Amino acid sequence: MSLFKKCSDFTAAEEAIKAGIYPYFHELESKQDIEVIMEGKRRIMLGSNNYLGLTVHPEVMEAAIKAIEKYGTGCSGSRFLNGTLDLHNELEVELADFLGMEAVTTFSTGFQSNLGIISAIAGRHEYILCDRENHASIYDGCRLSYAETIRYRHNDMDDLESKLKKLPLEAGKLIITDGVFSMSGDIAKLPEIVELAEKYNAATMVDDAHGLGVIGEGGRGTASHFGLTDKVDIIMGTFSKSLASLGGFMAAKKYIVDYVRHNSRPFIFSASITPAGCAAALAALRIIKREPERVARLTHLSKYLREKLMENGIAVRESGYSTPIIPFYTYEHTRTLVAAKMLFEEGVYVNPVLPPATAPTECLLRTSLMATHTEEILDEAVEIIARVTKQLP
């Protein structure tokens, strides 16, 4: 069989394009804001992870520009060798202090962070316990490690305990969970996870890509939300969402961070975050510390949109907490693509969520909010969503 037969056999994208319902790679022609220009037309942006609206903040943009003027466009090397700027160290110190952790190290992307952390920490004859709805980067990090990966049902603590019971008490074990789950907006049951970790001699890691800047005291994330910062061993996060840049990080005790810095191949063999990206993330972090009301505003808007959707008969996925990720059901694959296309044409951008990210009969359209949205623009979006969903077969 030809190596590329699977490529020639892949026709799903072409078929969706021909049917006029292909939902991907829409061309953005403006800044990432609450309203954007996509393919020549105004769209209300309800599909961005720019949770605090900082990608267009003047201070963040100015910091990036000044960094380019001082350091140039790139570092041309890995952090391990010639690619460490004083900016990188400054960002790590301030982020560790903000999170209440001993140390932080940064990675070039959020995806790479999970690859680099998990593959370095979990080794042969050790075990990773992974929530079934964890992000794809966590699964790839598990594959890159030599540990045995055991999946447990989403947020099901009985299932997690049943898996832990079967493992040797003295063996190395790492429980990994998203803090805020990226597709559903659910929050991990962190108090129960921490309790089980202590009971069965396991370590804990929280992927807080969608939690940082969203929940917790002043946006400090999931561990802060539950008052468990001192009980979580590793916190991972990204700069591409609330911190308005690109990159990722690991926060942990200093000896754990030092080990990863010297043993993680994705860290050692990748170029460091660009000067502009590092400066933008640092400026965004300082704004979050200075303006915690942005996080409160995001929570208010999340409750507001959820209530407005339900008032208009939209089947919103239930969540125990008002995160800015608010999916609503469209159920079937083609129906979901049609709905996304109709909303796009009517001026609202949302993200379709299809199998394998969902069950075949539970397809979703995922909306996500920014602290800079207004109630008026959300009302406009809800009116369009309600009108479009009523037209669906």
Each residue's pLDDT tens digit, 288-336? 999 999 999 999 999 999 999 999 999 888 776 789 999 999 999 999 9
Residue type, 92: E
Residue 3 in domain: no
Residue 50 in domain: no
Residue 132 sits in the same domain as residue 190: yes
**pLDDT at position 320, please?**
67
> How does pLDDT run across 15-33, given as a tens digit for each residue?
999 999 999 999 999 999 9
Q: Is the pLDDT of residue 348 over 70?
A: yes
Q: State how far the alpha carbon of 221 is from the alpha carbons of 54, 99, 392, in Å.
A: 17, 8, 37
Residue 86 sits in the same domain as residue 171: yes
Q: State how far the Cα of 136 lies from the Cα of 196, in Å rounded to an integer.
A: 24
Residue 267 sits in the same domain as residue 308: no
Q: State how far the Cα of 125 lies from the Cα of 140, in Å rounded to an integer.
A: 18
Residue type, 54: L
Catalytic residue among 135, 210, 225, 373: 210
Residue 280 sits in the same domain as residue 301: no
Residue 102 sits in the same domain as residue 202: yes
Of 269, 290, 311, the domain-final residue? 290
* Cβ proximity of 379 and 391 under 8 Å: no
255 is in which domain, residue-wise?
Answer: 58-290
Q: State how far the Cα of 133 lies from the Cα of 125, in Å rounded to an integer.
A: 24
Residue 206 sits in the same domain as residue 271: yes
Catalytic residue among 88, 241, 308, 373: 241
**pLDDT at position 358, please?**
84
Residue 285 sits in the same domain as residue 337: no
Residue 5 in domain: no
Average pLDDT, rounded, for the chain: 96
CATH number of 175's domain: 3.40.640.10
Tokens of 280: 């933008």
Q: Is the pLDDT of residue 371 over 90?
A: yes
CATH number of 343's domain: 3.90.1150.10
Q: Is the pLDDT of residue 148 over 80?
A: yes
Is residue 26 part of the annotated active site? The answer reads: no
Residue type, 59: E
Place of tokens 């001082």: 70
Q: Which of 302, 130, 317 is nearest to 206 (CA)?
A: 130
Residue 201 in domain: yes
Residue 189 sits in the same domain as residue 304: no
> How does pLDDT run across 21-72, given as a tens digit for each residue?
999 999 999 999 999 999 999 999 999 999 999 999 999 999 999 999 999 9
Residue 161 in domain: yes
**pLDDT at position 315, please?**
85
Q: Which of 268, 281, 263, 307 is nearest to 77 (CA)?
A: 268
Per-residue confidence band for 230, with pLDDT thresholds at 50, 70 and 90: very high
Q: How many structural domains are present in the chain?
A: 2
Catalytic residue among 145, 182, 322, 368: 182
Residue 208 in domain: yes
Residue 281 sits in the same domain as residue 300: no
Of 245, 273, 290, the domain-final residue? 290
Per-residue confidence band for 356, with pLDDT thresholds at 50, 70 and 90: confident
Q: Is the pLDDT of residue 203 over 80?
A: yes
Place of tokens 């916190």: 235
Q: State how far the Cα of 277 lies from the Cα of 63, in Å rounded to an integer.
A: 9
Is residue 241 part of the annotated active site? The answer reads: yes
Strand intervals (E) in the chain: 35-38, 41-45, 103-107, 127-131, 148-152, 173-178, 203-207, 234-238, 248-252, 325-331, 348-349, 351-353, 363-368
Residue 268 sits in the same domain as residue 133: yes
Residue 161 sits in the same domain as residue 309: no
Residue 343 in domain: yes
Is residue 210 part of the annotated active site? The answer reads: yes
Mean pLDDT, residues 140-155 taken together: 97
Residue 216 sits in the same domain as residue 361: no
Give the pairing type, strands 35-38 and 325-331.
Answer: unpaired
Place of tokens 């960094």: 67
Residue 369 in domain: yes
Q: State how far the Cα of 222 lies from the Cα of 202, in Å rounded to an integer.
A: 19
**pLDDT at position 266, please?**
96
Of 274, 290, 306, the domain-final residue? 290
- Cα radius of gyration rounded to whole Å, the chain: 21
Q: Which of 241, 248, 204 is nearest to 226 (CA)?
A: 204
* Cβ proximity of 369 and 354 under 8 Å: no
Mean pLDDT, residues 89-93 taken together: 98
Q: Is the pLDDT of residue 1 over 80?
A: no
